[in-house]
Amino acid sequence: MTLKRHEGFLLYIKITRYTVLAFLLTNHLTTRLITRFITRQTARSDGDKKMMIANLSIWEKESYYAPQDLVIVGAGLMGLWTALELKKHRPSLRITILERNTTPLGASTRNAGFACFGSPTELIHDADTLGPDAMLAVAEMRYKGIQKIRRHFTDEQIGFDACGGYECINRDYKNWALLPDKLHWLNSLLKEITGSKAIFQQIDHKLAAMGLQGFDALVENVTEAALHSGKLVQALTQKVQATGVNILYGIQVSGIEKQSASMQINTLQNQAFTAAHVLLCTNAFTSELAPEARIEPARGQVIVTSPIPGLPMKGTFHFDEGFYYWRNLGNRILLGGARNSAFEAEATTNLSGSDTVRLALEHFLTQHLHPSFQYTIEHHWSGVMGFTTDKRPYTALVREGVTAAIACNGMGVALTPVVAEQLSTGLLDYF
C-alpha cells in the first residue's frame, strides 16, 4: 500500500498482483498514470496465463489435463460416490474430480460423524410438513445409504461404532401427550425398511445414568451409529482413485462454458479442462457456478470438549427435531447445531463460525451435562450444508452440459451413497 501526493492531489492505491483499487481526487495526469498501470498489469496477467498453459509438458497434457468424459467439481462424498458408481458401470469412462481445497471444504469432513436416518421428532415433523410418504422415502434412502457404507468398508477403516442413538425430549414438545402413540406409529411405518418391530423405544430411566439432566424423556434407536468422517472420506477417496479416477486438489473452478462439442471448465489457476459433461457436487457453494440451482446454505457449527474423566455417556444424541446433536468421542463430547438460534445469520457459506451459536452450544452443554463433570472447550469448527424445501437431495440438469447433485439437508453421510447410485444411471446417457 502506498500513499503519494501529486500536485496537491492525494492518490491512494492498493496494489496486488492483479488488482488496483484507486480512490483519488483526479486530474488529467493522475488518470493517465492509473490507466498506464492497469494496462501493464492486465498485460502481465494475460502473459502469465499464456505462460502457464504453454508450460504444461506433453506428459501433463496427455494425462492430468487430457480431455475427459466427465469432470466432477467437488471431491466430497457426493462427488466421490458418484465417480465410484459410474466407474462400476462403465470402467472405461475418463473422469477427473476437481477440488478447490486441500481437503473437501463444505461438510463431508466437517460434520459430526453421525450415521443416522432421522430422530423421532424430526421424522414426525417431516411427516407433518411433507406427508408420510415423502418422509418415508427419504428415511429409506438414508437407512440404505448407511448399509451401503458398511458393505464397502470395514468398521476399522472408517471408525464405525454401532453405539446406538437416542433422542432427548421435553414436556414442552408439541406432541408430548401423544408421544407413545407417535412412536408406535413410526415403528409400524419403519418396520418394512429396518426389519425391526420397534426401532424406537422410550427408556427415560437411563437419562441420569448417562450423566444427562434437564430432559424429560429418552428414546432409543439401537440401529444408529457413529463414524469418523475424515477416515470415511479418505477410504472412499482411495477406493475411487483405484478405479482410475483422477483427483486434482487446489483447483478452483471459476466458470463453465459450452464449446462446439464439449464443455470448457475454467479455473482460477488459469488451467482449462474440457469434458463431455460436468457434474457439480459443490453443495451450498453451487450458486457461485450455477445460480439456477436454488439451494439454501446452512452453516453447522461444532464444539468438542477436553477429555472428561468417567464420562458415562456413549452413543449419538439428538434434541429439538435434530437442531442439537451430540455424541461421545472417546471420553470427550462433540456437540453441534444451535442453528435455530440464529437462522438468518447461519444461512451463509462463511466458514468462520459465530460467537452467537458457539455460546448457545456451550450454554446447552452447561444446562444438560451433570455439573460433576468438568471440562473445557478445545475445538470449534464450522461446515456448510445445503438445504431444499422438500428435504430431498437436489439432482437436476441445470443447463446444457451441466448437472448438479447437491443438498442432502444435513444427511450427506447417509444419503450420498444412494443418491449417487440413482444419479449415475441418468449420467451414463451422456457418454
Q: pLDDT tens digits, residue range 104-157? A: 989 999 999 999 999 999 999 999 999 999 999 999 999 999 999 999 999 999
**Looking at residue 306, what DSSP letter applies?**
P
Residue linked to cell 445409504 = 145
Angle, helices 77-89 vs 412-427, to 10°: value is 40
Taking only Cα atoms into account, the Rg of the chain, rounded to an integer number of angstroms, comes to 25
pLDDT of residue 352: 95
Q: What is the pLDDT of residue 248?
A: 97
Query: What total of structural domains would you count in the chain?
Result: 3
Question: DSSP secondary structure string, 263-290?
Answer: EEEEETTS--EEEEEEEE--GGGGGGT-
Shared domain check, 286 and 223: no
Environment class of 92 (CB within 10 Å of its CB; exposed 0-12, middle 13-18, buried 19+): exposed
* Residue 96, beta-bridge partner list: 71, 246
Domain that holds residue 30: 2-54
pLDDT of residue 8: 38
Nearest CA-CA partner of 190 in 125, 129, 115, 138: 138
**244: domain CATH number?**
3.50.50.60
CA 201 remoteness from chain centre: 31
Chain mean position to CA 356: 21
DSSP conformation letters of 129-164: HH-HHHHHHHHHHHHHHHHHHHHHS-HHHHT-B---
The reply to whether 212 and 269 lie within a common domain is no
* CB-based contact 141:89 (threshold 8 Å): no
Question: Following DSSP, what letter does each residue of 307-339 receive, concatenated?
Answer: P-TT----SEEEETTTTEEEEEETTEEEEEE-G
Q: Are residues 310 and 186 in the same domain?
A: yes
**pLDDT for the residue numbered 294:** 86
What pLDDT is recorded for position 87? 98
Q: What is the pLDDT of residue 36?
A: 52
Average pLDDT of the chain to the nearest whole number: 90
196 and 47 both lie in a single domain: no
Task: Return the pLDDT at 1.
Answer: 42
CA separation (Å) from 365 to 138, 199, 203, 257, 339?
30, 27, 21, 49, 15
Task: Tell me what the mean pLDDT of segment 78-101 comes to.
Answer: 98
- Does the pLDDT at position 33 exceed 50? no
pLDDT in tens, 320-370: 999 999 999 999 999 999 999 999 999 999 999 999 999 999 999 999 999
Over residues 216-260, the pLDDT tens digits come to: 999 999 999 999 999 999 999 999 999 999 999 999 999 999 999
pLDDT band (50, 70, 90) for residue 6: very low
Domain end: 54, 80, 95, which one?
A: 54
Digit-coded pLDDT (tens) for 160-213: 999 999 999 999 999 999 999 999 999 999 999 999 999 999 999 999 999 999
Q: Do 224 and 332 belong to one domain?
A: yes
What pTM does this model have? 0.87
Kindly state whether residues 290 and 221 are assigned to the same domain.
no
- Check residue 50 and give its pLDDT: 40
Q: What is the largest CA-CA distance in the chain?
A: 86
Do residues 314 and 378 share a domain? yes
Q: What is the pLDDT of residue 24?
A: 34
Residues 376-416: tens digit of each pLDDT: 999 999 999 999 998 899 999 999 999 999 999 999 999 99
Per-residue pLDDT at 279: 98
Residue 231: partners with Cβ closer than 8 Å, 6 or more residues away:
157, 158, 159
Q: Does one domain contain both 200 and 154?
A: yes
pLDDT in the model for residue 23 = 37
Residues 153 and 191 in one domain: yes
| Res. 102: pLDDT tops 90 | yes
- CB distance 126 to 138 below 8 Å: yes
What is the distance between the alpha carbons of residues 386 and 370, in angstroms, rounded to a whole number?
34
What confidence tier does 54 reach under pLDDT thresholds 50, 70, 90?
A: low
Residue 208 and residue 242 share a domain: no
pLDDT given at position 256: 98
Query: How many Å apart are CA 378 and CA 366, to the nearest integer?
Result: 15
Quickly state the pLDDT bin for 55 (edges 50, 70, 90): confident
Same domain, 89 and 153: no
Q: Is the pLDDT of residue 276 over 50?
A: yes
Q: What is the CATH number of the domain that holds 141?
A: 3.30.9.10
Closest CA to 391 of 125, 78, 79: 125
One domain for residues 7 and 138 = no
- Predicted confidence at residue 60, as pLDDT, reads 94
Burial group, residue 397, by CB count within 10 angstroms (0-12, 13-18, 19+)? middle
Average pLDDT over every residue of 7-23: 38
Nearest to 79 by CA among 96, 101, 67, 92: 96
What percent of the chain lies above the pLDDT cut of 70? 87
The sign of the CA dihedral 179, 184, 185, 190 is positive
Residue 29 has pLDDT above 50, yes or no: no
- Rounded Cα distance between 163 and 185, Å, is 24
Q: Give CA separation, 356 vs 306, 343, 345, 398, in Å.
A: 21, 11, 9, 36
